[in-house]
């Protein structure tokens, strides 16, 4: 009987876990790391990006997102949508082709891989014969033309990936059609480009690396015109009316050729080197598009003068007499133009994918302004140094932050986001959530983290408070009147930090009062308040000596930042009004704010302090430095930053000197500078990349500590890991009092009793603090979290939460408990006696160490009224645990992050409702959920587009095919497509696998 009851109890507990907890990685926010290919479907209005790790991501209207992952760990080199269909083809650098489809399942679309293919050449043929270099998805939607390194063009039927051998175009066929006088019939090299005639789908142009272009008739299987260009070919473009072909070349020139000219040897009709006369870089892609009521647009990438501007990544836009060289922030991957208007002919937006961001230009508004992106925002415009999440933001604060952000975005286009494919079927977010990211350049970015799109709301900069090495007028890409080329800087990615001491290390925002505190790398703590108007004010620094005059210590790290003595004009938004400067100026390692008491607590590797920001006075200074800890005085936490700073400054000086010397020359001389006296920017970039890699290896990795007790002589035992405010019982069990708790790296917990004057005298009488308790953990494991539980076992509410009727008052009748979370265990003490009550040893069970901890509320998926508080824990193994409160029992465990991903583990931040974020690359957050109730994930539908009228013109091509040529008539091709779709809809087991992402 007893055994039955136990089994019944365990079953009930298991059911409860299923109602509360479920782990799922839900969506990736940010910009894909190392993008390598771009694709766009005008009929679906979907954007596709492939990257070097084999991921493929699709984006439509905000909230419409899909992700797929190739089994092969190979870079995606090309992405092509099949016209008017929901399929796309990817080419990897291992030469494999993959077919993907968006299939509707239970009312939602999911991205599936439905086929893969690799060209096979004749036995003994070299790999170059079948190495694919160019892909053309034919407008019929039923053929792929594959150009190869060996110069052949293979014709493949899709979606079945069946090679139509008799339709292939061999190099011999092409060579035989070329006149003998074509430069001795030299080697044509690889197929560089394939383009279809916009008005006759039977014709395609094949462009070879050496420059020759052949117009090939697919129906008659013969060349009908050859275009004998002599320069190395980069790209081709067939104009909308089918009458001209544009070719771009490696010498920075482009040519215009008439289609159908009788004399194949005639010179090109027009040849131009836009930025000559001195050597120029290649024009890698060229596009010409007509407009309904005006001259056409000409767009091309590259073509800059090598000597003077070889380091620039530019796309030139020309219409009529207007010409702009869009100067982008990193290497251009690809670009395309979205077309609008009554006949969908007018270019409306230019979409450019560069290595570090996506830039969209409004081509219909005067000045061609940038359109702000609702997703794919480069989170790493400056390197992310910390994160802070706030759930359930009050509407008033939300609207004020949005208003401040809109004032910063007046330079953006007013046009709506032009990529609108798919339907977002996700319900509206139940609450407003903010994610704050701190950056190396001293900025804090506010992101709307309520839904699938991590949308930028507002950006705060702290640099204006200090004197830095940055020159406000230093803009190397700043255009001047009459400058040639006519540069215009676009994009926001800027990895250079003029002074890494500005880097933000800790953030705390009170959503009820609007007070914000941020702390930095050089020991600076700023307190800011939200102001809807611009204000000019001086921020005075209050210096806090955390060493308190101890003899024999000498700080060897970086110096503190110099504060501006003159008034500074701060724009609307968060404005600093108080500044605390720690001495020594070490990295701030812990920070917390209590807006009801008007107090800020901060800690470094030397001690902690308490600051009254209403009276602007120091309340408490406590040195925690171990006398034997010399390492803490050498500033190892900042040594890497110092090296990074000095070397980056050197790079910036080099860039500035190059820019200055260029600008000092006349426009004529700016086109050329002898390479002996110049440093190519690509070399600087390569050196900087190597430096970053070396510095990353120098970063302090988590120490794999032993299980036995640590010595008090260990380094950084005085480093403050956590700070916590609590209104609880310290002196006796009948009088609760405000208190401050601090936990150190050496396993020590300090508690201070605070005396706050009455509200009417708060501005006059000082706040006082006196030592109350000190706990030394037996094994001296670092303290990573402190939580006080009230009489009901619930964590104490946030400051002002009860006053806003958003939480019940804590139970002050029963006894309180102190939960101390160290790297090795969870230990509960009774208050006020501080006697141990219970503990859970994490390290003793699996050898893990606690790295991140947070308190979350888990609501039941079946009952709106039921939920539990739990402790969410991330270990150094990358595992997530939920620990029950107040019983400290392990509830669930899930693997989340690879144990080798030290930066991912270090960047993890939890939400108050069981979700979390961590960096999977410098530019991307992975979002996960442990809760069954609070899940944010894409739920979207993409429908098969209706065929447009002009799609009927594609039929003659296939009607002309015959079985004698080894081709399948269009009826059979259509039938095979229906068979494939039927199989997808009815036999999920065959097609569902690791490449299925039901987002």
Query: Strand 332-340 to strand 504-509: parallel, antiparallel, or no bridges (unpaired)?
Result: unpaired
The phi-psi region of residue 818 (left if phi > 0; otherwise alpha if psi is between -120 and 50; otherwise beta) is beta
What is the per-residue pLDDT across 512-529, written as a single tens digit (0 to 9) for each? Answer: 999 999 999 999 999 999
821 versus 265: which is more confidently predicted?
821
| Mean pLDDT, rounded, for 468-490 | 67
**Residue 258: C-alpha distances to residues 61, 270, 481 (Å):** 39, 10, 37
- pLDDT-derived band at 696 (thresholds 50, 70, 90) equals very low
What is the predicted pLDDT for the residue at 12?
63
What is the predicted pLDDT for the residue at 733?
84
Helix axes of 681-698 and 636-664: crossing angle, nearest 10 degrees: 170
What is the predicted pLDDT for the residue at 178?
83
Of the candidate ranges 186-190, 527-531, 951-955, the one whose mean pLDDT is the lowest: 951-955
**Is residue 506 scored above 50 in pLDDT?**
yes
Q: Are 248 and 288 in contact (CB under 8 A)?
A: no
SS3 695: helix
What is the predicted pLDDT for the residue at 779?
87
Per-residue DSSP letter, 252 = S
| Mean pLDDT, rounded, for 744-772 | 95
**Is residue 642 scored above 60 in pLDDT?**
no
| Mean pLDDT, rounded, for 631-648 | 55
- pLDDT-derived band at 180 (thresholds 50, 70, 90) equals confident
Mean pLDDT for the chain overall: 85
SS3 510: coil
What is the per-residue pLDDT across 192-236, written as a single tens digit (0 to 9) for each? Answer: 999 999 999 999 999 999 999 999 999 999 999 999 888 999 999
Alpha-carbon span 25 to 908, nearest angstrom: 13
Domain ranges of the chain: 32-118, 126-272, 716-847
Alpha-carbon span 441 to 148, nearest angstrom: 46
Alpha-carbon span 30 to 51, nearest angstrom: 14
698 versus 546: which is more confidently predicted?
546
Per-residue DSSP letter, 795 = B
- pLDDT-derived band at 946 (thresholds 50, 70, 90) equals confident
SS3 762: coil
Q: Are 615 and 635 in contact (CB under 8 A)?
A: no
What is the predicted pLDDT for the residue at 269?
61
Select, from the ranges 269-278, 448-457, 699-708, the one with the highest average predicted confidence (pLDDT): 448-457
**Is residue 637 scored above 50 in pLDDT?**
no
What is the per-residue pLDDT across 362-419, written as a single tens digit (0 to 9) for each? Answer: 999 999 999 999 999 999 999 999 999 999 999 999 999 999 999 999 999 999 999 9
What is the predicted pLDDT for the residue at 468?
80
What is the per-residue pLDDT across 321-360, written as a single tens digit (0 to 9) for each? Answer: 999 999 999 999 999 999 986 667 789 999 999 999 999 9
- pLDDT-derived band at 952 (thresholds 50, 70, 90) equals very low
Select, from the ranges 10-14, 634-638, 817-821, the one with the highest average predicted confidence (pLDDT): 817-821
**Is residue 152 scored above 60 in pLDDT?**
yes
**Is residue 581 scored above 70 in pLDDT?**
yes
Q: Exposed, middle or buried by CB within 10 Å (0-12, 13-18, 19+), for 704?
A: exposed
Q: Are 479 and 487 in contact (CB under 8 A)?
A: yes
Q: Are 507 and 438 in contact (CB under 8 A)?
A: yes
Of the candidate ranges 306-315, 584-593, 842-851, 950-959, the one whose mean pLDDT is the lowest: 950-959
Q: What is 126-272's CATH topology?
A: Methylamine Dehydrogenase; Chain H (2.130.10)
What is the predicted pLDDT for the residue at 297?
96
What is the predicted pLDDT for the residue at 822?
96
- pLDDT-derived band at 997 (thresholds 50, 70, 90) equals very low
Q: Are 119 and 95 in contact (CB under 8 A)?
A: yes
What is the predicted pLDDT for the residue at 472?
47
**Is residue 670 scored above 90 in pLDDT?**
no
What is the per-residue pLDDT across 435-466, written as a single tens digit (0 to 9) for each? Answer: 999 999 999 999 999 999 999 999 999 999 99
- pLDDT-derived band at 177 (thresholds 50, 70, 90) equals confident
Of the candidate ranges 227-241, 390-404, 622-636, 763-777, the one whose mean pLDDT is the lowest: 622-636
Q: What percent of the chain has pLDDT over 90?
A: 69
What's this model's pTM, rounded to 2 decimal places? 0.86
- pLDDT-derived band at 939 (thresholds 50, 70, 90) equals very high
What is the predicted pLDDT for the residue at 552?
77
What is the predicted pLDDT for the residue at 675?
32
- pLDDT-derived band at 665 (thresholds 50, 70, 90) equals very low
The beta strands (E) that lie in 717-866 are given as 720-729, 736-744, 748-755, 768-776, 783-789, 817-822, 825-830, 836-841, 850-859
- 592-597-603 Cα angle (round to 5): 25
The dihedral of CA 798, 543, 559, 548: what is its sign?
negative
What is the predicted pLDDT for the residue at 9?
52
What is the predicted pLDDT for the residue at 67?
96
């Amino acid at each position: 009987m007893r055994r039955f009851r136990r089994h019944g109890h365990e079953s009930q507990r298991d059911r409860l876990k299923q109602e509360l907890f479920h782990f799922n990685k839900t969506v990736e926010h940010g910009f894909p790391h190392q993008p390598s290919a771009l694709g766009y479907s005008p009929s679906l209005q979907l954007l596709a990006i492939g990257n070097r790790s084999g991921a493929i991501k699709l984006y439509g209207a905000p909230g419409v997102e899909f992700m797929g992952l190739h089994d092969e760990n190979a870079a995606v080199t090309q992405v092509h949508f099949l016209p008017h269909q929901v399929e796309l083809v990817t080419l990897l650098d291992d030469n494999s082709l993959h077919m993907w489809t968006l299939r509707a399942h239970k009312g939602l679309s999911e991205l599936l891989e439905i086929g893969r293919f690799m060209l096979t050449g004749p036995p003994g043929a070299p790999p170059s014969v079948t190495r694919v270099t160019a892909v053309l998805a034919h407008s019929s939607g039923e053929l792929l033309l594959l150009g190869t390194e060996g110069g052949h063009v293979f014709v493949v039927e899709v979606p079945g990936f069946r090679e139509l051998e008799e339709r292939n175009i061999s190099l011999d066929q092409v060579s035989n059609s070329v006149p003998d006088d074509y430069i001795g019939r030299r080697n044509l090299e690889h197929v560089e480009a394939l383009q279809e005639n916009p008005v006759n789908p039977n014709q395609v142009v094949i462009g070879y690396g050496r420059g020759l272009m052949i117009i090939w008739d697919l129906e008659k299987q013969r060349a009908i015109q050859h275009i004998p260009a002599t320069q190395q070919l980069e790209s081709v473009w067939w104009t909308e009316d089918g009458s001209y072909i544009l070719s771009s070349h490696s010498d920075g020139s482009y040519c215009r050729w008439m289609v159908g000219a009788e004399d194949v040897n005639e010179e090109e009709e027009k040849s131009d080197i836009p930025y000559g006369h001195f050597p120029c870089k290649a024009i890698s892609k060229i596009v010409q598009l007509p407009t309904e009521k005006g001259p056409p647009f000409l767009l091309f990438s590259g073509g800059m003068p090598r000597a003077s501007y070889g380091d620039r990544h530019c796309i030139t836009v020309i219409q009529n007499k207007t010409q702009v060289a869009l100067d982008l922030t990193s290497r251009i991957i690809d670009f395309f133009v979205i077309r609008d208007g009554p006949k969908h002919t007018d270019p409306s937006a230019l979409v450019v994918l560069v290595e570090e961001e996506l830039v969209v230009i409004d081509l219909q508004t005067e000045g061609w302004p940038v359109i702000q992106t609702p997703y794919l925002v480069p989170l790493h415009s400056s390197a992310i140094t910390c994160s802070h999440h706030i759930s359930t933001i009050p509407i008033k604060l939300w609207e004020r932050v949005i208003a401040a952000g809109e004032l910063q975005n007046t330079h953006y286009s007013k046009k709506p986001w032009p990529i609108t494919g798919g339907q977002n079927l996700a319900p509206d977010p139940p609450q407003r959530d903010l994610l704050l990211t701190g950056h190396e350049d001293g900025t804090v970015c506010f992101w709307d983290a309520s839904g699938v799109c991590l949308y930028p709301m507002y950006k705060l900069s702290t640099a204006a408070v200090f004197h830095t090495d940055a020159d406000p007028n230093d803009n190397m890409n700043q255009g001047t009147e009459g400058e040639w080329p006519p540069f215009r800087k676009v994009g926001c990615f800027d990895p250079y930090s003029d002074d890494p001491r500005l880097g933000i290390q800790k953030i705390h925002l009170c959503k009820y009062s609007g007070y914000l505190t941020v702390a930095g790398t050089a020991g600076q703590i700023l307190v800011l308040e939200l102001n809807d108007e611009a204000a000019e004010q001086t921020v005075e620094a209050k210096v806090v000596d955390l060493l308190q005059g101890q003899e024999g210590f000498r700080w060897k790290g970086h110096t503190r930042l110099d504060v501006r003595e003159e008034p500074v004009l701060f724009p609307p938004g968060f404005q600093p009004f108080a500044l605390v400067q720690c001495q020594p100026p070490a990295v701030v390692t812990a920070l917390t704010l209590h807006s009801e008491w008007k107090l800020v607590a901060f800690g470094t590797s030397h001690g902690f302090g308490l600051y009254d920001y209403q009276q602007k006075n120091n309340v408490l200074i406590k040195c925690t430095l171990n006398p034997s800890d010399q390492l803490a005085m050498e500033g190892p936490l900042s040594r890497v930053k110092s090296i990074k700073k000095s070397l980056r400054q050197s790079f910036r000086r080099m860039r500035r000197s190059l820019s200055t010397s260029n600008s000092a020359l006349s426009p004529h001389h700016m086109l050329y500078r002898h390479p002996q006296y110049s440093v190519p920017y690509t070399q600087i970039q390569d050196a900087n990349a190597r430096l970053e890699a070396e510095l990353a290896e120098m970063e302090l990795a988590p120490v794999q500590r032993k299980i036995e007790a640590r010595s008090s002589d260990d380094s950084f035992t005085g480093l403050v890991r956590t700070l916590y405010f609590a209104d609880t019982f310290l002196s006796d069990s009948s009088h609760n009092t405000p208190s401050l708790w601090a936990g150190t790296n050496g396993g020590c917990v300090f508690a201070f009793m605070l005396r706050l004057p009455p509200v009417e005298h708060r501005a006059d009488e000082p706040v006082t603090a006196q030592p109350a308790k000190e706990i030394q953990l037996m094994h001296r494991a670092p303290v990573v979290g402190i939580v006080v539980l009230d009489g009901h076992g619930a964590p104490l509410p946030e400051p002002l939460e009860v006053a806003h009727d958003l939480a019940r008052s804590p139970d002050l009748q029963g006894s309180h408990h102190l939960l101390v979370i160290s790297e090795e265990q969870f230990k509960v003490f009774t208050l006020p006696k501080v006697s141990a009550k219970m503990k859970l040893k994490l390290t003793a069970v699996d050898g893990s160490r606690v790295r991140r901890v947070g308190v979350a509320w888990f609501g039941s998926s079946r009952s709106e009224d039921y939920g539990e508080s739990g402790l969410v824990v991330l270990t150094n193994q990358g595992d997530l645990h939920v620990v029950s409160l107040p019983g400290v029992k392990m509830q669930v465990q899930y693997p989340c992050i690879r144990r080798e991903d030290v930066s991912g583990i270090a960047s993890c931040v939890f939400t108050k409702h069981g979700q979390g974020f961590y960096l999977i690359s410098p530019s991307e957050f992975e979002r996960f959920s442990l809760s069954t109730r609070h899940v944010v994930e894409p739920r979207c539908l993409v429908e098969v587009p209706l065929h447009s009228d002009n799609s009927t013109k594609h039929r003659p091509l296939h009607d002309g095919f015959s079985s004698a040529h080894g081709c399948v008539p269009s009826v059979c091709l259509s039938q095979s497509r229906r068979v494939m779709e039927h199989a997808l809809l009815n036999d999920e087991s065959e097609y569902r696998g690791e490449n299925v992402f039901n987002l």
